[in-house]
Amino acid sequence: MPNARLLVPAVIGLWCAASGARVAALEDPAARAQVTHLDNGLVVVTLEDTATPVVSFQMWVKVGSRDEAGYSGLAHLFEHMMFNGSEHLGPEQHAQLVTARGGMINAYTSNDQTVYFDDVTRESLPLVIDLEYERLAYLDISEESLNRERQVVLEERSLRIEDTPMGRAYEALLALLWQALPYRTPVIGWRSDVEKATVEVCREFFATYYAPNNIVVAIAGDFDTADALARLERTIGRLPAAEVIPRNPTEEPEQRGERRATVHFDLRGPVLAAAWHAPATGHADGEALDVLSQILSDGRSSRLYRSLVHDAEIALSASGGYWEMNDTGAFLAIAGVRPGESIDRVEQLFFAEIERVRREPVHAAELDKAKRQLEVSLVNGLATSHALAARIGGDIATFGRIRPLGERLERIRAVTADDVRRVARTYLVTDQRSVVHVVPPPHEATPREAGDGA
Amino acid sequence: MRRACVWALVAFCLVLAQGCGLLAPKPAWEIPAPPASDRPIARDGALTRVELESGLRVLVHEDHRLPRIALSLTVRRGAASEPPEQAGAVSFMAELLERGAGDRDALAYAEAIDALGASFAASADWDAVSVGISGLSRDFDALLGLLADAALRPRFDPREAVRARDALLAALERAKDDPATLAGWRAARAVYAPHRFGLPVSGTAETAARLDAKVARAYHARAFVPNGAILSVSGDVEPEAVIAALRDRFGAWRKGALVDPGAPPPAQAPAQRVVVVVDRPDLGQARIVVGHEGIARTDEDRIAVSLFNLVLGGSGFSSRLMASLRGKEGLTYGVSSGYSLRRAPGPFFVSTFTRVEELRPALDILLAELERARREPPGEDELSWARTLATGSFSMGLETSDAVTDALVDLDVYGLPEDSLDTYRTRVRAITADEIAAVARAHLHPERAAIVLVGPAAAIVPQLEGLGPVEVVKP
């Protein structure tokens, strides 16, 4: 039998101490979330809110590119296969049934998770639950559907990576930053792996990772919790649990010295991308790194915008930010160089700003501004059912608990200028840096002009 | 059928196990969809409308669930009102609004916005310019002050204007690295040139080079009149206090003449088939855009057209185009179609992409689907799901009070009835298959549509036999 318990204490009136009188007391809606563990290991986190016309159903499967060995891109390929029909429904029929009711259905794959979501109106939640059960229980993994879908994925790969300067930059950068961790492979996979993945490999991957004890279901918005739980129990709740869910054992060895790579691409605006190693999600330095990201990048008064875009006028965009994942993290820097300007000069000014945050403490006003920006974005994140479901589902999948808003705000507010300088000194080290330049090919070596006809 | 067998077996097992007559429930997709509960657009009494003496319309949407607010000033003239040779002027003026206003220069203004953790956006589209700011409700006074400065007292500092123009020119040049942008620009040109709709909202390198502070100031003086504007406030606010504050900040704003909204484009565009290839030898994937003139935002047919478009290519996985190009053949990752609704008829475009060597098969399937849409317009089956899709996604799209407010402002820009949102679902349900067939005949013209392709011309041009004269251009 399922056991339900409340995990999160209520946090009320966070902004009551503010100066203005016209301020609604802020209640963390997630404080009302209920977590239920079904017998087969499926975790269900629910948050009812009848003031909204929407209910968001999200299925967080704890598998991403970090779990891939052999064939890269399998987790993402699977995200596609999940729309390709099952025993009782044809290809795309699942999505069509949800869309026909005005629902928004889609999915995405990250390094750590594959997330399926259906945002619908109240009366369609039973449909969504039955459809998710159908594809978990009876997915069609045939040669035919795999072959069609791998073509679609290859088109997506061309679209997002191969034909875009930014896609090329990130792909090269991550493969440079991590030499051992599977985070080094692109989530969408290397082209050759997607071309060669077999039905057997896909079936094994599905059987291994799409078990109920590797899934968190999050539901937020206008629905009835008891009805939804009862329906989940007699559908997904009946699927057998997996005995073992294997995880990749690899750890990243220490980086000893800066790494550099150049990617040639026929473009007008070169791209500078750089990264440093940073801690995994949940680390005590996370908030200081977030504050640092804001100071460097958020808004037109941020340091990088002022220096590179406004004052020097040599970049069209420049930002740096902390990216957290389950097993590690990165601090990324990215700049779009203005056509005709020097990428070396952009790099020099960019890294000068990094040196400055390592050398001098940030100003009190900058610190306050960064904290305020983070607080406002937390409040904005409470506005939709989709965002709420993503928060409670993501927290349960990653941390096994919902981090209360109050806790997150307290940790942001506790960050000092010394903390910001300390994390900059700890992580943004030249020796630990990886740098990629995406630039036009040297004229004489252009392969297309060499007449290979490719 | 197999489904029925499985459930029969389950029911049989339950009977055996429990010795009672429990019937296993059918899966939800085998049961007719329950009727949608049409909620009201806004909570009772949440909306307040007033018009100030200057003619400025004010819309307040109260929502106290979160301590945040969004304020927006929208003027009912946009890029369509400028002549083609000044393309980009209105958009450039909008960009300059946050580059110094009131007592603050560009950096001081950015500091003030960022210090509140606020978001600011000023942008132009074809028919309107909007200046918006959002943040925490306790900062209402500061946010309103910043909005009023940007809207009424922009500095149009010549040095900032030069920076903004140089950044725009660089961005226009870099945008050529993006195949989708290239395809969109060239398709608009193929359909509409020399009309203003043939150039991007932001202008071109040629027209942008002529922009300066003086041009921006002149456009601002003409377009920003209170009798041509609506100010909306949504979120954690009290309407009386808001309206008093607005009178204080915007009361002295003086009425002016309304600018001409711009000449409409030709009724048929293009007059005949044109095929353009934008040569990008480095690409492995070809972009495809097919299009012609569409309908106006206020067209009587607009709801029937939108339902028709959902079936054709406007509904993601459910559309005919997606089923043919992605579902059956795996030729693309995505395809979509849409009518761009403007004051004057904007374009209808279908966009997709595929590997270069499959370009012609994909294009043929696309054109065949357009022909089929006229020959076999959506029948009662397809129309039925298009109706539930349209009403369902309409309700979902209005989840936040900001979204409702934006939709109400949009009605104001086009002079549509204030209750259009309330009546929308009823109007959708009343559309018949005959009406759909009529709009398919009236508003779809594949035989003379412009075809624009982006990719390696050397590999693309040989595939285009029989489509008509082909023009190859540089990005």
Nearest by Cα to B212 from B160, B170, B259, B167: B160
**Residue A45's domain is classified under what CATH number?**
3.30.830.10
Helix (H) or strand (E) holding B94: helix B89-96
- Residue A20 inside a domain? The answer is no
Whether residue A285 sits in one domain with residue A217: no
Of A238, A272, A305, the residue that ends a domain is: A238
For residues A183 and A44, membership in a common domain is answered with yes
Q: Judge contact between A36 and A43, C-beta under 8 A.
A: yes
Structure tokens at A22: 């016209």
**Parallel, antiparallel, or unpaired for β A114-120 and A34-37?**
unpaired
- Give φ, ψ of A433 to 5 degrees: -100, 145
Q: Cα B433 vs. chain centroid, distance in angstroms?
A: 26
Task: Provide the residue range defining the domain that includes A172.
Answer: 31-238
The verdict on A224 and A353 lying in the same domain is no
What is the sign, positive or negative, of the torsion defined by CA atoms of A340, A266, B350, B444?
positive
CB contact under 8 A, B330 and A120: no
Task: Please check whether residue A439 touches B, CB under 8 A.
Answer: no
For chain B, 475 residues long, the average pLDDT of each consecutive 10-residue run is: 42 39 73 83 94 97 95 98 97 98 97 96 98 97 98 98 98 95 98 98 97 97 97 97 96 94 95 97 96 98 97 91 88 95 98 96 97 94 93 91 97 97 96 96 97 98 96 97
- Cβ-based neighbour number of residue A297 at 10 Å: 19
Count how many pairs of residues, chain A against chain B, have C-beta atoms within 8 Å. Answer: 242
For B326, the closest chain A residue by CA position comes to A152
Instruction: Give the nearest partner residue to B355 out of A99, A158, A313, using CB atoms.
Output: A158
Q: Is this complex's ipTM strictly greater than 0.85?
A: yes
Residue pair A79/B298 in contact (Cβ under 8 Å)? The answer is no
For residue B23, what pLDDT is reported? 54
Cα torsion at B98, B236, B61, B261 (round to 10°)?
A: 0
Q: Do A302 and B64 touch (CB under 8 A)?
A: no
Domains of chain B from N-terminus onward = 47-250 (3.30.830.10), 275-473 (3.30.830.10)
Q: Answer yes or no: do A163 and B173 touch at CB < 8 A.
A: no
Q: Cβ contact (<8 Å) for A102 and B391?
A: yes
Question: Is there a contact between B209 and B301 (Cβ–Cβ < 8 Å)?
Answer: no
Q: What is the distance of C-alpha B149 from the center of its chain?
A: 28
CA distance B462 to chain A (A): 14
Question: How deeply is A192 buried, as exposed, middle or buried, from its count of CB atoms within 10 A (0-12, 13-18, 19+)?
Answer: exposed
Q: CB-hemisphere CA count at 13 Å for A229? A: 19
Going by C-alpha positions, the residue among A48, A44, A54, A224 that lies closest to residue A126 is A224
Question: Is pLDDT above 80 for A186?
Answer: yes
- Answer whether residue A8 shows pLDDT above 60: no
Residues in chain B: 475
A150 lies in the same domain as A279: no
Through-space distance between the first and last CA atoms of chain B, rounded to whole angstroms? 54
A71 Cα to chain B: minimum distance (Å):
21
With an 8 Å Cβ cutoff, are B163 and A313 in contact? yes
Contact between A423 and A370 (Cβ < 8 Å): no
In a domain, A332, yes or no: yes
Q: Name the amino acid, one letter, at A364.
A: A
Burial class (CB in 10 A: 0-12, 13-18, 19+), B1: exposed
Residue A9's pLDDT band, with cuts at 50, 70 and 90, is very low
Place A451 in a pLDDT band, splitting at 50, 70 and 90.
Answer: very low
**A21 or B305, higher pLDDT:** B305
- A2, part of any domain: no
The whole-angstrom distance between B27's CA and the closest CA on chain A is 6
Neighbours of A133 (CB within 10 A): 20
Residue B387 has which token pair? Answer: 């109706």
Residue B329: per-residue pLDDT: 81
pLDDT digits (tens, 9 = 90+) for A266-275: 999 999 999 9
**Is A102 in contact with B396 (Cβ distance < 8 A)?**
yes
C-alpha closest to that of A112 among A209, A30, A213, A197: A209
Residue the block writes with tokens 């409409």: B264
Strand-pair category, B285-293 with B450-455: antiparallel
In a domain, A246, yes or no: no
Question: Above 60 in pLDDT, residue A28?
Answer: yes
Domain assignment present for A263: yes
- CB proximity A376 to B under 8 Å: yes
A62 and A210 inside one domain: yes
In angstroms, rounded to a whole number, what is the distance separating the alpha carbons of residues A176 and A178?
A: 6
User: Do A182 and A298 have their domain in common?
Assistant: no
Spatial separation of the C-alpha atoms in residues A16 and B337, rounded to whole Å: 48
CB-based contact, A364 to chain B, within 8 Å: no
Instruction: Confirm whether A149 is a catalytic residue.
Output: no
CB contact under 8 A, B355 and A155: yes
Identify whether A12 is part of a domain.
no
Between residues A19 and A58, which one has the greater pLDDT? A58
A99 and A138 part of one domain: yes
Single residue among A204, A238, A272 that ends a domain in this structure? A238
Roughly what angle, to the nearest 10 degrees, separates helices A364-380 and A286-297?
100
| Length in residues, chain A | 454
A380: left (phi over 0), alpha (psi -120 to 50) or beta: alpha
Residue A250 lies in a domain: no
> What are B2's two structure tokens?
């197999």
Strand, coil or helix: what is B291? strand
Q: Does pLDDT of A148 surpass 50?
A: yes
A231 and A277, same domain (yes or no): no
pLDDT one-digit tens code per residue, B305-359: 999 999 999 988 889 999 999 888 889 999 999 999 999 999 999 999 999 999 9
In a domain? residue A7: no
Mean pLDDT, range A356-362, rounded to an integer? 97
pLDDT at A397 over 90: yes
Judgement on whether residues A231 and A341 belong to the same structural domain of the protein: no
Q: Of A238, A267, A291, which residue constitutes the final position of a domain?
A: A238
Concatenated DSSP letters of B128-144:
-EEEEEEEEGGGHHHHH
A20 and B CB contact within 8 Å: yes
Whether the bond into B194 is cis, omega within 30 of 0: yes
Taking the Cβ of residue A192 and every Cβ of chain B, the question of whether any pair is shorter than 8 Å is answered with: no
B66: chain A residues, CB-CB within 8 Å: 24, 26, 379, 382-383
Same domain for A71 and A218?
yes
On whether both A185 and A278 belong to a single domain, the answer is: no
Binning pLDDT at 50, 70 and 90, where does residue A16 land?
A: very low
- B117 Cβ under 8 Å from any chain A Cβ: yes
Same domain, A227 and A263: no
Which DSSP letter does residue B470 get?
E
Please answer yes or no on whether B281 and A448 come within 8 Å at the CB atom.
yes
Q: How many domains does chain A have?
A: 2
CA triplet B138, B143, B146: central angle to 5 degrees? 155
Q: Which of A298, A301, A369 to mutate to test the interface with B (most CBs of B within 10 A)?
A: A301
Q: What is the pLDDT of residue B21?
A: 35
